[in-house]
Structure 1
């Protein structure tokens, strides 16, 4: 879906402030030992498969909201407190990470 179509599907305008999935690297670094941005996700809404780095991330909320680059559906959410991290992957069919060489 083209950017304008994705924005319309989300009910947002082109002026919305977002960054790409690379913004999740630091937040996930404490939780995963591999680079999460090269992991692939499969969107539960449209089936799009792509790297986390390509997700459209909104980081100006109490946490991170990552949307599919094709359909705009929410793929994952990450919320941190001083004691915990909560990852909501309901919008992800799979999250696939390459294991480090041993």
Structure 2
């Protein structure tokens, strides 16, 4: 079954239902997570990404095609994650 297709019997609930899934997804070592580039389809651990960093942000780029996957804005509180060409993020 296509994971993006809603089942005919799907319930509509609020985002609190995602707590367990998000805990499982982000519960391990974050740099071991696999990022799939939405531009070229390359899949690699976050630890292998090309990162440009300064005092305000980190730009995380695909190590294959160099498109920006995400930008982490950490000069602000709370920090923000801006998604760009990230096609998929998988737990390790």
TM-score, structure 2 as length reference: 0.65
Give the one of 46, 49, 59 matched to 2:43.
Answer: 49
Gaps of 5+ in 2: 1-25
Deviation of 1:83 (Å)? 2.4
Alignment of 1:51-70 (within 5 A): 51-60=45-54, 62-70=56-64
Q: For 2:50 and 2:43, how far apart are their aligned partners in 1? A: 14
Deviation of 1:35 (Å)? 1.1
Aligned residues: 67
Alignment of 1:2-13 (within 5 A): none
Runs of 4+ in 1 over 3 A off after TM superposition: none
Bigger Cα Rg: 2
Q: Deviations over 1:37-70 (max 9, x none)?
A: 1000110110101100110001125200011101
Q: Deviations over 1:2-48 (max 9, x none)?
A: xxxxxxxxxxxxxxxxxxxxxxxxxxxxxx54211100011011010
RMSD (Å) for aligned C-alpha atoms: 1.6
Deviation of 1:82 (Å)? 5.0
Q: For 1:82 and 1:67, how far apart are their aligned partners in 2? A: 21
Give the one of 71, 87, 91 matched to 2:85.
Answer: 91
